[in-house]
Amino acid sequence: MTMNVSNEEMSDVVVIGAGIVGLACAWAALRDGARVTIVDRDFEGDRASHGNAGGIAVTESTPIAVHGMFTKAAKWLIDPLGPLALDWKHLPKALPWFMAFRRATEPARYQAISHALALLNNRVYDDILPMFDDIGATSMHYRQGALTVYETDEAFAADQAEWMLKRELGARWHAMNAQQVRECEPALAPLFRHGVFLDDWSHVGDPRRIVTLLRERVRALGARFVTGVARAIESPDAVLLDDATRVKGRRIVVAAGAWSSALAKSIGDRVLLESERGYNATLPKHGVRLNREVIFAERKFVATPLDVGVRIGGAAEFAGVDAPPNYRRSDALLALGKRFIPGIDDTEAMKWMGNRPATPDSLPVIGASPRVPSVVYAFGHGHLGLTQSATTAALVADVLASRTPRLPLAPYSIARFEN
């Protein structure tokens, strides 16, 4: 049940967005004793939080923008069903994002981004385990590690510098030869010459169920739910909805995923944010056994053994938030899955597309607006929304309660986009 909020009612915190990050921020604020209102266009509707691969990807502490990425990207774009797609009509709007993405590959910037990602990822379990426990999700959290696999010696060698940097940043991993890969995941085709086992990676059984449990817990803790589209932040304490309703709160948290940039713009904050559209196919009758999430390094896709079926996901499509889905991308991922996991059954495969909110430097936007300090940002997590949700929430809660944040927030400030 949702509620209409009049102009006179004032919450302590208004959270815009009921995906995994917004709900986690609401949960943390409620546990601090705040009165919280959440605004979303459709609380039960599909969202990026529902269809992700389910990984708690704590080892992903380097940005997507790596040296040589543009050369690889040019090759991927030639393939109409490769791991990267660009709607050329969207290019003029996306060009500043891509220019900033290229700058993120510069060595000094790459190192700084990596250290900032590691600061978040190295405390993920400190924050997410208590949240899972509180919402009743501990039994669907599987700490089995993950396996990255390589078909060629060349690709494995090319990634070694990145793996060594991840180890320096705190990731635990060890290399595997072809026989060890087969012993680790016998269901895989015997095509992989190398593997990297990621000790601290984990996954959840059903990302959608995690969101549902968290939403139910937030409701039980007393949050008010308001259905509507947030059009603008109209004043330091008011959110204007599409029906001209104003929802008022002493602090406003923007956690609207790929739709957050317009809200930031409404108070004069600039941000480079794109929808990096991801696709997957979930196979409920897969008929194979995977023990953990498998990352196929050269093909840029993953397969995860969820409680609801094996999910084969990946791809990056830049077409904006309003373009219709191109489910041929799900078909392409499914074809790869059938090639590398022989015998997998795709009967009743469920296809999906979601809008990942991506910044060009792979860092989320967390912290107060420099222009309107009552507004706090929590968006732009790209592939790591589930992973970083509870840690983001803990940082946002620190800001809302005027505590010294448990991590320095400067690397994640929206102010970095003014440069």
| Residue scoring higher pLDDT (224 or 9) | 224
Rounded Cα–Cα distance for residues 88 and 78 (Å): 13
For residue 174, the cross-strand partners are 197
Residue 220 belongs to some domain of the structure = yes
Among residues 358, 373, 390, the one where a domain terminates is 358
Cβ–Cβ < 8 Å for 100, 152: no
Specify whether 284 is located in the same domain as 354.
Answer: yes
Rounded Cα–Cα distance for residues 67 and 200 (Å): 26
Chain segment 360-382, per-residue pLDDT in tens: 999 999 999 999 999 999 999 99
Q: Which of 67, 158, 57 is nearest to 111 (CA)?
A: 67
| pLDDT attached to residue 370 | 97
Specify whether 191 is located in the same domain as 221.
Answer: no
| pLDDT attached to residue 6 | 44
| pLDDT attached to residue 295 | 98
Rounded Cα–Cα distance for residues 34 and 96 (Å): 38
| pLDDT attached to residue 97 | 93
Specify whether 188 is located in the same domain as 285.
Answer: yes
| pLDDT attached to residue 419 | 72
Residue 223: CATH number of its domain: 3.50.50.60
| pLDDT attached to residue 83 | 80
| pLDDT attached to residue 84 | 83
Q: Which of 191, 416, 390, 148 is nearest to 292 (CA)?
A: 148
Could you tell me the residue range of the domain that residue 334 belongs to?
61-105+143-202+273-358
Residue 117 belongs to some domain of the structure = no
| pLDDT attached to residue 37 | 98
Task: Report the chain's mean pLDDT, rounded to a whole number.
Answer: 94
| Residue scoring higher pLDDT (418 or 82) | 418
Specify whether 71 is located in the same domain as 179.
Answer: yes
Rounded Cα–Cα distance for residues 408 and 398 (Å): 11
- Mean per-residue pLDDT, 160-183: 97
Tokens 């994002």: give the residue: 97
What is the Cα gyration radius of the chain? 21
CA angle (47 as vertex; 414, 312 as ends), nearest 5:
105
Chain segment 244-286, per-residue pLDDT in tens: 999 999 999 999 999 999 999 999 999 999 999 999 999 999 9
Specify whether 196 is located in the same domain as 220.
Answer: no
Chain segment 280-323, per-residue pLDDT in tens: 999 999 999 999 999 999 999 999 999 999 999 998 899 999 99
Q: Cα–Cα distances in Å, from 175 out to 61, 116, 179, 203?
A: 18, 25, 12, 21
Sign of CA dihedral 234, 236, 241, 245: negative
pLDDT at 4 > cutoff 50: no
Specify whether 236 is located in the same domain as 385.
Answer: yes
Specify whether 161 is located in the same domain as 193.
Answer: yes
The band of 78, judged by pLDDT with boundaries at 50, 70 and 90, is: low
The band of 68, judged by pLDDT with boundaries at 50, 70 and 90, is: low
Rounded Cα–Cα distance for residues 59 and 255 (Å): 24
The residues, ordered by sequence, that sit 6+ positions from 417 with a Cβ below 8 Å of its Cβ are 270, 271, 272
Residue 306 belongs to some domain of the structure = yes
Entry pTM: 0.95
Question: What total number of domains does the chain contain?
Answer: 2
The band of 66, judged by pLDDT with boundaries at 50, 70 and 90, is: low
pLDDT at 203 > cutoff 50: yes
The band of 70, judged by pLDDT with boundaries at 50, 70 and 90, is: low
State residue 36 phi and psi, 5-degree precision: -125, 135
Chain segment 388-401, per-residue pLDDT in tens: 999 999 999 999 99
Cβ–Cβ < 8 Å for 353, 277: yes
Specify whether 370 is located in the same domain as 412.
Answer: yes
| pLDDT attached to residue 3 | 44
Residue 41 belongs to some domain of the structure = yes
Q: Which of the residue ranges 85-94, 99-108, 128-137, 325-334 would you say has the lowest mean pLDDT?
A: 85-94
Specify whether 294 is located in the same domain as 398.
Answer: no
The band of 25, judged by pLDDT with boundaries at 50, 70 and 90, is: very high
The residues, ordered by sequence, that sit 6+ positions from 359 with a Cβ below 8 Å of its Cβ are 271, 272, 273, 365, 380, 382
pLDDT at 406 > cutoff 50: yes
Beta strands 309-318 and 350-358 are unpaired
Residue 153: CATH number of its domain: 3.30.9.10
Specify whether 153 is located in the same domain as 173.
Answer: yes
